[in-house]
Structure 1
Amino acid sequence: MRFVEATTDRVVAELAIRDDLKTIGGRLHGGTIMALADTVAATATFLNLPQGASTTTLESKTNFFAGASEGTVRAASTPLHRGRTTMVWETRVTDASGRLLALVIQTQMVLLPRPGLSAPGTSATASP
């Protein structure tokens, strides 16, 4: 996966279709499409979080419209709602010709820092 655009209003990534990402029938696996969309929407949420907050996927719904067996797919996430506790993103997954493969609507929970707990990747220090 390669990010090609990342702003607070839109995140886009591309993924080259490989054999290990295909179903036995030779099509890109739906789970791969869902994971790509989840990663892109989570990244978009992260770019909109307040300092010290993190995120996790709360809900995700995917509608599949077409399959792809070769080339590159592109996932583009744009916001439908950016609130204090949740954000909702629409991710359109297309093939190289722009044909819509899947539409994903995803809700991300905003995990605000809790007093006394350290954020991931940091350490809490006690006051004297």
Structure 2
Amino acid sequence: MLDITAPVLTDAKLSDNNETVSQSGVLAVEVTSRSPRPLPAEQPGPGANLFQRGVLMYVVETLGGRPFHELTPQEFTQVTGAGFAGTVGLEFTEVTGDRVCAHWPVSPAIHQAHGIVHGGAYSTVVESLASVGAAVWFGPEGRVVGVNNNTDFLRSSSEGTHYGEAIPLHRGRSQQLWQVAITDDRRNLLARGQVRLQNLAD
């Protein structure tokens, strides 16, 4: 039985003159092993300390303790930019419980192998805008969490500035449904998604 606690086998050589065969005709192999090389230490990104403490703690410490739903568009840009969504470079321009707008420059950092925007970037934008809008609308009642993200990619793009707009389709006691449209400089529709969110009352 394989001992998964054993060192990783990285080198193998034949015993004696590399041609020793046992009486049963099975090649006898001498195996040497060495411990696996340690992985290089990860370099924390600019938002690592922020997210170790948590976004809400960041809001308390840095933004004067105001509730999440009272942040300005510039502050939402700062908060979301410190995490995963920061790779996209979202800049929020309007944030209310009825509408959320943002734009971002397209760069190779969000391209896929064929030089066009990765679908995951569009899904990230859809999730981010919908979540912010839902959180602002729910306000002091509690917090919201996404439970489904369904994003369709309609047209490819590789450069320019992209724009996102999120509007609510349904806002109920326990769930919300938000729709997000993503367009380019010419207002061509590039992607459209819906996010369903659960309201978690305090």
> What is the TM-score normalised by the length of structure 2?
0.54
1:104 aligned residue? 193
How do residues 59-78 of structure 1 correspond to structure 2 at under 5 angstroms? Answer: 59-78=148-167
2:126 is the alignment partner of 1:32 = no
Provide the C-alpha distance between the structure 1 equivalents of 2:195 and 2:141, rounded to a whole number of angstroms.
22
Determine the structure 2 residue equivalent to 1:86. 175
Task: Say what the alpha-carbon RMSD is for the aligned residues.
Answer: 0.9
Larger of the two Rg values belongs to structure = 2
| Cα distance in 2 for residues equivalent to 1:105 and 1:52 | 23
Q: Secondary structure at the match of 1:49?
A: helix
Q: Aligned residue pairs: how many? A: 113
Higher strand share: 1
Higher RCO (CA-CA < 8 Å; seq separation 6+): 1
Report the Cα distance in structure 1 between the residues aligned to 2:156 and 2:162, rounded to whole angstroms: 10
Note if 1:56 corresponds to 2:125. Answer: no
Kindly provide the amino acid, as one letter, of the partner of residue 61 in structure 1.
Answer: N
Unaligned 5+ residue runs, structure 1? 114-128
Within 2, Cα distance between the matches of 1:24 and 1:64? 16
- Between Structure 1 and Structure 2, which shows a larger proportion of helix residues? 2
Q: Secondary structure at the match of 1:46?
A: helix
* Cα distance in structure 2, aligned partners of 1:62 and 1:75: 13
- Structure 1: distance between partners of 2:161 and 2:121: 13
> What is the aligned partner in structure 2 of residue 11 from structure 1?
100
Q: TM-score, normalised by structure 1?
A: 0.85
Cα gap change, 1:84 to 1:78, in 2 (>3 Å)? same
Post-superposition Cα deviations, 1:77-113, rounded to whole Å, max 9, x if no partner, equal 0010011111000100111110001110110111111
| Separation of aligned partners in 2, 1:50 and 1:92 | 23
Distance 2:99 2:184 in 1: 18
Aligned mates of 2:144, 2:177 — CA distance in 1: 12
Distance (Å, rounded) in 2 between the aligned partners of 1:50 and 1:108: 14
